[in-house]
Amino acid sequence: MAEWITQAGEALARLNGAQWAEKKKSTIVALADAHLAGRSEETVWDLPDVCARSTYHAKWKRDPLFAEVLATVDGQAKQWRDTRSLRALQDAAERLALASPVAVTKLLERLTKSEDESIIIRAAVAILDRAGIETGVKSSRQTELGIDVRALTDAELDALIGDGGPS
């Protein structure tokens, strides 16, 4: 379970034993949901299981425990929303790291087992381009000759390899 859900659940549990505890919890969750969705609090009062608008404004929002629990749940939910993009980036980086060995294996297979010279050259260039600064040109750099080998056609690569360089 996500950490924020655990923390929000712990905050809501502080209302256990209070009068109208379940209705207070439902009201807090409905308010937090409205805040996250950018909806007005007025959209909450017609929902089942929440208090009346007048009860909230006259009593509950002035109750220190209720207000503190609402602030905690609201804050946890907003933090989760605000860090959603960061979590997606973290997940993408992890997936790329896990897929890298498979990609390297496939490139090495093409490099060593292909009969097609253009496939071999592209696999070699891809491997060198990503292997390390010592072994190849990085995507933001060019060769000493000023040629970006990734942009070359198969014929240009063949010409480079065949006669030792461009004319």
The string of pLDDT tens digits covering residues 81-120 is 888 778 788 888 888 888 888 888 888 888 888 888 888 8
CB-count burial class (<10 Å; 0-12, 13-18, 19+) for 112: exposed
Look at the alpha carbons of 156, 158, 164, 167 in this order and tell me if their dihedral is positive or negative: negative
Place of tokens 């969750």: 29
Rounded Cα gap, residues 106 and 122, in angstroms:
12
Total of domains in the chain = 2
Among 60, 82, 104, give the residue marking a domain's end.
82
Q: Which of 82, 109, 143 is the last residue of a domain?
A: 82
Do residues 95 and 116 share a domain?
yes
Same domain, 52 and 121: no
Domain boundary among 82, 102, 125: 82
Write the CA distances from 85 to 35, 48, 113, integer angstroms: 19, 33, 41
Cα–Cα distance for residue pair 108/110, rounded to 1 Å? 5
Confidence label for 140 from pLDDT (cuts 50, 70 and 90): very low
Q: What is the pTM of this model?
A: 0.54
